[in-house]
Amino acid sequence: MEDATGKPKKQSNLRSLLDLGYRMTAYNLRIIFANKFIWFLAGSFAFYLGLSAIYVFSNEVSQMSDLYGVFLFSGALLVFYPAVFGIQNDQDARTIEILFGIPNYRYKVWLVRMVLIYIVAFLIMMFFTWLTSVLIVRFSFLEVALQVMVPVVFIGNLAFMLSTVIRNGNGTAVVMIIFGLFFMILMEPLRKSQWNLFLNPFAVPYDVNEAAWAIITIRNRIILVTGAILFLLAALYNLQKREKFM
């Protein structure tokens, strides 16, 4: 069958879907990169370059595991602003009224936006790890980028969920900083625990064999992935409460 323009109907529908996907992606990327995100992006680059330079010039880098924390905190900076301030930015721009005016559309918009945030963060993380593997120490940069993105997605979804509860960017940022400090305090006591948010899968403790450490790492990743999914579902559920956002 053909449409009004004489083109096959399936081809026309596919082209329409691709055009819609492109427009939605471009629109949400403009929102993600608007306002203060560029400063967090610059901060992530500065954090990565600064600490990498310190490690190199102090001759402390003997293996990739020494730089895992640099990658992790650089990734957390990338997702922090759009996850924490996304809802407030929509409120300030009055676009949230439009989103809530179209049934079920808001879920798709924010879900697409979160996915795009993580895609952008992953691509930048790939660049960081690749650059490090070329200039500092050899390692599988793809594996490291994937490992880093697990806690980064957990942190991003936690921030997004809290933003739907607190509904204020500054308030959410304060709570996230408190959470971050709490987990940092627990880093040493939980160093060999599967519950450690900042667990470094590439730094095997001297008193733990590699097989046991692999099991701890897998359990840790399962916990973080499960938590990230639950936080995302909770955030989308909270978005049903229209009266709290208007």
Whole-model pTM over 0.75? yes
Contact 166, 91 (CB under 8 A): no
- Cβ proximity of 60 and 66 under 8 Å: yes
Give per-residue pLDDT as tens, 20-35: 666 666 666 666 666 6
Beta bridge partners of 8: 2
- Spatial contact of 88 and 163, defined as CB atoms under 8 Å apart: yes
What is the share, in percent, of the chain residues with pLDDT greater than 90? 31
Mean pLDDT of 77-95: 77
pLDDT digits (tens, 9 = 90+) for 140-195: 889 999 999 999 999 999 999 998 888 888 899 999 999 989 988 888 888 888 99
pLDDT for position 156: 94
pLDDT score, position 161: 92
Residue type, 86: G
Measured CA to CA, the distance from residue 104 to residue 100 in angstroms comes to 8
